[in-house]
Every structure is written in C-alpha cells, then in structure tokens.
Amino acid sequence: MTRLLFVTPDRSNFADLSSEFKKQGGTILWAASGDQALKAIEKQTVDLVVTDERLGDMTGLELIGRLVTVNPMINCAAVSSLSKEAYHEASEGLGMLMQLPPRPSQADGERLMARLNQILRLNAPER
C-alpha cells in the first residue's frame, strides 16, 4: 500500500488529488505545516510527500529542501505557480517528481501516481 503525506494548511486545496490517491488505494497522512511534516517524517515512513506552495511557516520548496537533508531518497512533488523554467531553477537538486498546479486535479493525481509507481517498481528489491 502506498503511503502519502500531504502538507497543506487547507485540505480542500488537495481534495481532487486526495480523491484520486484514495481511489488507487493510497493511504494519506496530513500535516498542516512544514514543522508538522518534519515531525511526521521522523515517526513514519512515506512513499511520497506532496506539499502546497505556502505552508504558513515555510514554503513547500523550503520544506522539501529540509526533507532531503534528512532523507535524500524521499519522493516529493510540490504545488507551484512558478513558470516551468523558474520552478526548475528553484527545485534543482531536490529530486522532485513533478510540479503541480494550484488546486491539483484528479488527472494530476493520475500522472503523479503513475510516475511514483514507476519509481517504486524500479527501487523494489528483486525476488
């Protein structure tokens, strides 16, 4: 089962996205701030962190920068209203799976889940 951590001060921003992940059998944990997300990651393993653009105590990209110092292999996606070029520049070196638009849709969730599943299969131990 895929475990996801959604980080947003307003869960309605991820309503369509969370609906898609639940439909695909994912378990969703929620954090309302960057600090809450960092504490959650210390206690639980997740397959993917999805962060909103602004979290109140930091930006989503700042959170991901802090997460990768704790776990460089963590899978992340972030909502960002930056242009593709500016987003690439701001997120370079963070190993982001993808940029999400504000209020991501179910279609965005399908694309993100497909990309995550590819990565999880590549990293699965051979039997």
What residues does each domain of the chain span? 3-123
| pTM over 0.85, yes/no | yes
Q: Which fold has domain 3-123?
A: Rossmann fold (3.40.50)
Query: How many CA atoms lie less than 13 Å away from 108 in the CB half-sphere?
Result: 19
Q: Specify the 3-state DSSP secondary structure of 4.
A: strand
- Token output for 19: 């609906």
pLDDT tens column, 56-87: 999 999 999 999 998 888 999 999 999 999 99
- Token output for 117: 């599943």
Confidence of residue 5 (pLDDT cuts 50, 70, 90): very high
Beta bridge partners of 27: 3
Confidence of residue 125 (pLDDT cuts 50, 70, 90): low
pLDDT tens column, 33-57: 999 999 999 999 999 999 999 999 9
- Token output for 91: 């997120």
Contact between 22 and 28 (Cβ < 8 Å): yes
